[in-house]
Amino acid sequence: MAKRQRKENIYHKEKANLVRTKEFLESGEINQLDKSVDELKNLSDNYEELLDQTVLITRISDRLQKKLDKTNDKLQHLNDQLNDKNIELQNTIDDLVKAKAGRKATTIVFVFALVLFVFSEALIEPYIDSYANNIYLSLSIKAVIAMSIKPLEMLVEDSILKAARKSTMQARQEKENAEVST
């Protein structure tokens, strides 16, 4: 209510002019020609003033609306571009995370395969030599180790990626919570 009164306050002069004219019309002075002419002149001046204001404010408002509309279009366009860039960026980040996870998985699996190889050479091979003495069994064990490398690498890579995504989600959630609280 107070805000509305403040807005109406800007027309206090025009309101005062209108009240004065109405009072004149209700008074007996309206029958006096000279006073009526003066009042009519005042009224005409006030009307001209209001017309000037109306013309100007309408033109300015129209122009402002046009400007706002153009700005809105620009913002929409920029927003679309930003969304596209965001998707591109997210894809690049995903690729980078995937590559990083791949490298990490390869290292882990390589170390694991090395340990398995050493384990088979040091412990299983002598056992086969002493008890079974079968070269095919030995080769099969090595082949199993070699063939398990790729699936194992994929499994490790998958779990690293899951962990990375979970960590990213958590970081994003924490950031959003912090923004909401501020």
Binding residues for other proteins, rule: CB under 8 A, are 6-7, 9-10, 12, 49, 52-53, 55-57, 59-61, 63-64, 66-67
| Least distance CB 17 / other proteins (angstroms) | 14
Instruction: Show the tokens assigned to 104.
Output: 């990490």
Q: Which is nearer to other proteins, 6 or 33 (CB)?
A: 6
Q: Which is nearer to other proteins, 57 or 163 (CB)?
A: 57
Q: Which is nearer to other proteins, 10 or 122 (CB)?
A: 10
Instruction: Show the tokens assigned to 50.
Output: 């209001």
| Least distance CB 67 / other proteins (angstroms) | 5
Q: Which is nearer to other proteins, 55 or 137 (CB)?
A: 55
- Distance (Å) of CA 90 to CA 40, 76, 176: 72, 21, 18
Residue 68 CA to residue 64 CA, distance in Å, equals 6
| Least distance CB 19 / other proteins (angstroms) | 17
DSSP for 108-135, written as a single string: HHHHHHHHHHHHIIIIIHHHIIIII--H
| Least distance CB 40 / other proteins (angstroms) | 21
Instruction: Show the tokens assigned to 45.
Output: 């001046």
